[in-house]
Amino acid sequence: MTVKLLYFILSFSLLISSSGLQADDGTDAMAKILPARLASHVKFLADDLLEGRGTATRGYDLAALYVMTEFQQLGLKPAGKNGTFYQPIPFRKATTIRENCSFILIDKEGEHPLEYGKDYVMAADYSRPQTSASAEVVFAGFGVTAPELKYDDYAGLDVKGEIVALLSNAPASFPVSARAHYNSALQKEKNAVAHGAIGIVTLRTADDEKRGPWDRVIRQNKLSGFHWKDPSGQPNNFFPQIQITASLNKDGSTKLFAGSKSTFDEVSQQAKDNKLHGFPLGFRASLKKESKLEEAESPNVIAVLEGSDPALKNEYIVYSAHLDHLGISDPVNGDPINNGAYDNATGVSSILEIARAYTECAKRPRRSILFIALTGEEKGLQGSDYFANYPTVPQKSIVADINVDMFMMIFPVADVVIMGAEHSSIGPIAEEAARTNGLKVSPDPTPEEVRFVRSDQYSFIKKGVPSIAMTAGQQSTDPSVNGAEAIKQWLRTIYHSPQDDINQHFDWETGVKAIRASFLTGYRIANADQRPTWNPGDFFGKEFGNK
Ligand SMILES: [Zn+2]
């Protein structure tokens, strides 16, 4: 063999292997995700014309139509109901009639009425126009029972037929996952029902009020709630045992503790010190509520890119992002439209661009990819929960969910926090994908926000599907920006307000890096020999893994 020939063969094989690498590793397609395209989707979805994309509104339907036509244009196949892109969801819609609600504390001195809006709000009932409860109020800590952690807020308390008063959140002493899980309102309601309670009053501490101002709570309480209905027409996660659910702000909570052995401030401090003990509060409460009940419908929008492997194409990687936002509310600074530009026009725009990148891959991935724009997230993860319970592909064939909710790019971001990375084999893949795109990977800087259970990935987790969400970290590449402070400020003032609109700063370049990382994560899972697995002994894997 001549040197020339050897050189020829070597360079030829190098050429083949390098082009083979390009075709297989997804980086070419990934590079086609561009800032200007991302920006244009967000610009449309966050426009005032869409009126904040409230669940079951015309604005949402217009947004859904936009997503569907984008999917069509990309050549994706419908994966909703009956060969369409839509999965219509039947909802019970419920609205609290504030003026017909009352919350009266009763002790031996007489009646002490609380004021709606000033002290408390009530969540609407999903099945009954009128409900009431009159009983003792018992403080039951966080309302958490976690036998595996040898923790029980109800220990030694008899709350049968009584109203329980619960702090929000879960013990800070818990591992992050367990804390997130036990913090969920559904988990607390189930536990209250299991202990025989007939009413739940949530208490907001000074810390809660710092994180989420009370006027935001009032604004959202005026909006209608939605629960999806099962085929028999029953709203899901509805517990008829619970007559009333109310939320007291710090002033209201302080009044509730006025006749008891500890003040509300003392109890709030005990919660921080992990020294909580429940006790009867020395008041009876008489609660009344009126709710307006209606029927409604709103769709998830679902498309599929079929995998290239004859066997593995029957497994699916899901990309999800919620398309709904809060719609129209009481005005803030004269503006009533909650555009939800960050929350979550950015997420839906991300999965549209990710979908486009997949259609531009040299070779389709081995597994199939499902893209879902979800409804009802702001109403308590309704769209994703419905999909998880009534999936349009076989439930066991869903191998992973990659959710995109509100990637913050109010400054050039240096790092990402990958929610869920520590739970499954997706973690290392996602971390590498982030680093490939020049993003550092940081641990969750605010575990007390329990963000992992607060977006749609949790609906998949609960069905045993390993899931992640790539979210922005707090480090800025611009040294003049204090990222942690900027995000804290944003969450306090802009989050869930009409000011989350297109007139904010968006560092699209950073956004694109994170979207590329989400693309690459899914691409690698889709081409791997094995589907993702829960890490051995993982909390969520143990809790839900075999469902
Ligand atoms: Zn939101």
CATH number of the domain enclosing 166: 3.50.30.30
Over residues 195-244, the pLDDT tens digits come to 999 999 999 999 888 888 999 999 999 999 999 999 999 999 999 999 99
CA 497 / ligand 1 centre spacing (Å): 10
CA 340 / ligand 1 centre spacing (Å): 8
Within a domain: 158: yes
Over residues 165-200, the pLDDT tens digits come to 999 989 989 988 888 889 989 999 999 999 999 999
Instruction: Spell out where 410-466 has E strands.
Output: 415-419, 440-441
Q: Are residue 468 and residue 355 in the same domain, yes or no?
A: yes
CA 320 / ligand 1 centre spacing (Å): 14
Q: Are residue 353 and residue 463 in the same domain, yes or no?
A: yes
Give the model's pLDDT for residue 447.
76
CA 32 / ligand 1 centre spacing (Å): 28
Give mean pLDDT, residues 375-382: 96
Q: Are residue 398 and residue 411 in the same domain, yes or no?
A: yes
Q: Are residue 100 and residue 223 in the same domain, yes or no?
A: yes
Of 244, 262, 293, the one marking the end of a domain is 293
The CA distance from 28 to 42, in Å, is 24
Q: Are residue 140 and residue 208 in the same domain, yes or no?
A: yes
Within a domain: 406: yes
Of 293, 323, 348, the one marking the end of a domain is 293
Within a domain: 18: no
Angle at 281 (CA atoms; ends 279, 284), nearest 5 degrees = 130
Measure Cα distances from 56 to 82, 346, 352 in Å.
Answer: 20, 20, 22
Within a domain: 8: no
CA 153 / ligand 1 centre spacing (Å): 30
Q: Are residue 255 and residue 195 in the same domain, yes or no?
A: yes
CA 378 / ligand 1 centre spacing (Å): 5
CA 177 / ligand 1 centre spacing (Å): 21
Of 263, 293, 323, the one marking the end of a domain is 293
Within a domain: 161: yes
Within a domain: 155: yes
Q: What is the largest CA-CA distance in the chain?
A: 107
CA 381 / ligand 1 centre spacing (Å): 10
Within a domain: 13: no
pLDDT band per the 50, 70, 90 thresholds, residue 291: very high
Percent of the chain with pLDDT over 90: 86
Q: Are residue 314 and residue 388 in the same domain, yes or no?
A: yes
Q: Are residue 277 and residue 391 in the same domain, yes or no?
A: no
CA 115 / ligand 1 centre spacing (Å): 27
- CB neighbours of residue 74 within 10 Å: 17
Q: Are residue 262 and residue 371 in the same domain, yes or no?
A: no
CA 326 / ligand 1 centre spacing (Å): 8
CA 27 / ligand 1 centre spacing (Å): 31
CA 348 / ligand 1 centre spacing (Å): 13
Q: Are residue 424 and residue 461 in the same domain, yes or no?
A: yes
Within a domain: 108: yes
The number of angstroms, rounded, from the C-alpha of 199 to the middle of its chain's C-alpha atoms is 25
Residue 417, beta-bridge partner list: 471
Give the model's pLDDT for residue 398.
98
The CA distance from 238 to 231, in Å, is 15
pLDDT of residue 436 exceeding 60, the answer is: yes
Residue 321, beta-bridge partner list: 373
CA 154 / ligand 1 centre spacing (Å): 32
Q: Are residue 381 and residue 488 in the same domain, yes or no?
A: yes
Amino acid letter for position 318: V
Host domain of residue 274: 94-293
Give the model's pLDDT for residue 13.
46
Please give the mean pLDDT across all residues of the chain: 93
CA 319 / ligand 1 centre spacing (Å): 18
* CATH code for the domain in which residue 63 is found: 3.40.630.10
The number of angstroms, rounded, from the C-alpha of 109 to the middle of its chain's C-alpha atoms is 45
CA 152 / ligand 1 centre spacing (Å): 31
Q: Are residue 131 and residue 76 in the same domain, yes or no?
A: no
CA 279 / ligand 1 centre spacing (Å): 35
CA 405 / ligand 1 centre spacing (Å): 8
pLDDT of residue 3 exceeding 60, the answer is: no
Closest CA to 249 of 288, 211, 275: 211
The number of angstroms, rounded, from the C-alpha of 324 to the middle of its chain's C-alpha atoms is 12
Give the model's pLDDT for residue 117.
97
Domain count, the chain: 2
CA 161 / ligand 1 centre spacing (Å): 34
pLDDT of residue 1 exceeding 80, the answer is: no
Closest CA to 303 of 374, 387, 385, 369: 369
Over residues 77-122, the pLDDT tens digits come to 999 999 999 999 999 999 999 999 999 999 999 999 999 999 999 9
